[in-house]
């Protein structure tokens, strides 16, 4: 077997991820951390220390390091069959010096931890904090909140590779499994983390809301509307004490079907009791009229009345105008990430390349007004945003913002 095939097969076995292009995925992660690879391409020829640094990570990831070698003159040799490009190699070296150091590597700050069996176990064991796992984790906001409140998030699961990629960058040190929660067995999670049943305190989750949202088709029978069953099944299998699930208020009525009752009943069947509470995100610093339902459930012997949402410290609600204040003014076609200075990179701050005529048309639209494809954000609180067809975000018209 070629070294590269071996690498992919080994990583696939270790992490059970989609094995295709795993190394390219690592490349993307490193690019997200250190900027684009153009700078790396102009770097000078690496010396033997750099080669040693890159090989160290490759080995720690459980891969075959023979694809990186030295020629007789001491120059870098990358095997033709390998997916390790020069820019990837340069990023590996930077990462090795910043994070994956020879002694005491900083696994808890490493975005590659998903691909590193040693890192997964060292991150899971190191902490004395209560442990949570995040299912349907998305870009990682729920995990970020739990980490801030003193939990150790030991694992995240999401089947969308872009969500997983964002999660890794937002939550370095938390391994992400790219998998469908319906197909995961609790035993696999415990084996991966090296935990016993009962050692994971909380299962947290924000399953997809499209099937419930006023902005979606609202088909009660859609398969993704029933992911709560898989989430509860995993919580029960892990013997987690706490089960927390977040979703939109629209699930209370989806074409005459009340999903909140179904969810509470199913959670009870799995041994978890609790009620959904409705939260207005604008009271917690989000410049949007955004209501959410949070199901806070515990095993029967515990009491949910211990849980209280901490009131916001903000005296007033944050407005759109305040939230966007200070951003540089985007010009038409300006702001592609690749052209920015990596040290000051501002992600996703881009403007479309409109014609002068369209720009004039947009200028005449008042905040909060306009046709569906060019509606401007209001200056106060925004409604729910729906991504438009390569256009500005469109605001949902519903009053419930579900
Ligand atoms: S998880 Fe730790 S050992 Fe693995 S690549 Fe990252 S820093 Fe290195």
Number of domains in the chain: 3
d(CA 291, CA 384): 10
Q: Are residues 245 and 355 in the same domain?
A: no
Is 226 inside a domain boundary? yes
Residue ending a domain, among 103, 122, 148, is: 103
Is 304 inside a domain boundary? no
Q: Are residues 56 and 136 in the same domain?
A: no
Is 389 inside a domain boundary? yes
Atom of ligand 1 nearest to the CA of 99: 7
Q: Are residues 119 and 268 in the same domain?
A: yes
Is 313 inside a domain boundary? no
Is 305 inside a domain boundary? no
pLDDT in tens, 303-323: 766 677 777 777 788 999 998
The better pLDDT of the pair 54, 87 is held by: 54
What tokens appear for 386 in the block?
A: 């729906």
Is 128 inside a domain boundary? yes
CA of 113 to the centre of ligand 1 (A): 6
Percent above pLDDT 70 for the chain: 73
Tell me the pLDDT band of 32, cut-offs 50, 70 and 90: very low
Residue nearest to atom 8 of ligand 1 (CA): 100
Is 137 inside a domain boundary? yes
Q: Are residues 56 and 18 in the same domain?
A: yes
pLDDT above 70 (res 28):
no
Is 402 inside a domain boundary? no
CA of 254 to the centre of ligand 1 (A): 45
CA of 383 to the centre of ligand 1 (A): 41
Q: Are 67 and 78 in contact (CB under 8 A)?
A: yes
Q: Is 177 exposed, middle or buried (0-12, 13-18, 19+ CB in 10 A)?
A: buried
Atom of ligand 1 nearest to the CA of 109: 7
Expressed in angstroms, the distance from the first to the final Cα of the chain is 52
Pocket mutation for ligand 1, best pick of 112, 120, 155, 168 (most atoms within 8 Å of C-beta) = 112
| Highest mean pLDDT: which range of 11-25, 116-130, 166-180, 270-284 | 270-284
pLDDT of residue 11: 43
Q: Are residues 22 and 79 in the same domain?
A: yes
Atom of ligand 1 nearest to the CA of 173: 1
Q: Are residues 130 and 181 in the same domain?
A: yes
Mean pLDDT on 238-243: 96
Q: Is 314 exposed, middle or buried (0-12, 13-18, 19+ CB in 10 A)?
A: exposed
Q: Are residues 140 and 77 in the same domain?
A: no
Residue ending a domain, among 247, 269, 299, is: 299
Q: Are 304 and 275 in contact (CB under 8 A)?
A: yes
CA of 40 to the centre of ligand 1 (A): 21
Q: Are residues 125 and 36 in the same domain?
A: no
Name which of 294, 280, 318 is nearest 401 in CA terms: 280
Query: What are the backbone dihedrals phi and psi of residue 30, each rounded to the nearest 5 degrees, phi first?
Result: -65, -35
**Residues within 6 Å of ligand 1 by CB:** 57, 60-61, 99-100, 105-107, 110, 112-113, 116, 118-119
CA of 293 to the centre of ligand 1 (A): 37
Q: Are residues 254 and 375 in the same domain?
A: no
The better pLDDT of the pair 170, 345 is held by: 170
Question: Containing domain of residue 74, as a range?
Answer: 3-103
CATH of the domain at 216: 3.40.50.150
Q: Are residues 255 and 172 in the same domain?
A: yes
Q: Are 256 and 221 in contact (CB under 8 A)?
A: no
Atom of ligand 1 nearest to the CA of 106: 7
Q: Are residues 277 and 351 in the same domain?
A: no
Q: Are residues 167 and 85 in the same domain?
A: no
CA of 101 to the centre of ligand 1 (A): 8
Query: What are the backbone dihedrals phi and psi of residue 54, each rounded to the nearest 5 degrees, phi first?
Result: -65, -40
d(CA 269, CA 272): 7
């Amino acid at each position: 077997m070629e070294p590269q095939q071996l690498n992919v097969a080994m990583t696939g076995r270790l992490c059970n991820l989609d094995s295709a292009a795993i190394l390219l995925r690592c490349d993307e992660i490193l690019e997200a951390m250190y900027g684009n690879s153009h700078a790396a391409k102009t770097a000078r020829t690496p010396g033997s220390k750099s080669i040693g640094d890159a090989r160290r990570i490759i080995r720690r990831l459980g891969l075959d390091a023979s694809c990186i070698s030295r020629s007789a003159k001491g120059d870098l040799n990358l095997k033709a069959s390998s997916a390790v490009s020069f820019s990837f190699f340069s990023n590996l070296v930077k990462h090795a010096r910043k994070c994956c150091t020879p002694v005491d590597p900083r696994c808890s700050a490493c975005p590659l931890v998903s691909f590193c069996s040693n890192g997964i176990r060292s991150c899971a064991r190191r902490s004395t904090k209560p442990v949570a796992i995040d299912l349907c984790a998305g870009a990682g906001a729920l995990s970020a909140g739990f980490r801030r409140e003193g939990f150790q998030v030991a694992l995240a699961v999401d089947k969308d590779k872009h969500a997983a990629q964002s999660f890794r960058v937002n939550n370095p040190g938390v391994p992400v499994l790219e998998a469908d929660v319906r197909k995961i067995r609790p035993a696999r999670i415990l084996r991966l983390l090296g935990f016993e049943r009962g050692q994971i305190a909380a299962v947290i989750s924000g399953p997809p809301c499209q099937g419930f949202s006023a902005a979606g088709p609202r088909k009660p029978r859609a398969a993704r509307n029933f992911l709560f069953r898989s989430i509860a099944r995993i919580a029960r299998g892990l013997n987690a004490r706490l089960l927390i699930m977040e979703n939109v208020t629209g699930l209370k009525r989806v074409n005459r079907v009340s999903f909140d009752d179904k969810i509470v009943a199913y959670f009870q069947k799995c041994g978890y009791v609790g009620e959904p509470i409705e939260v207005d995100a604008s009271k917690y610093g989000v410049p949007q009229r955004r209501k959410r339902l949070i199901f806070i459930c515990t095993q029967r012997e515990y009491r949910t009345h211990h849980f209280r949402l901490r009131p916001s410290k903000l005296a007033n609600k944050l407005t759109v105008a305040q939230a966007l204040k200070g951003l540089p003014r985007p010009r038409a076609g300006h702001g592609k990430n690749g052209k920015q200075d990596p040290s000051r990179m501002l992600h996703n701050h881009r403007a479309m390349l409109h014609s002068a005529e369209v720009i004039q048309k947009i200028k005449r639209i008042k905040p909060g007004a306009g046709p569906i494809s060019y509606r401007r954000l209001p200056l106060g609180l925004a409604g729910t945003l729906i991504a438009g067809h390569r256009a500005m975000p469109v605001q949902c018209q519903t009053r419930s913002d579900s």
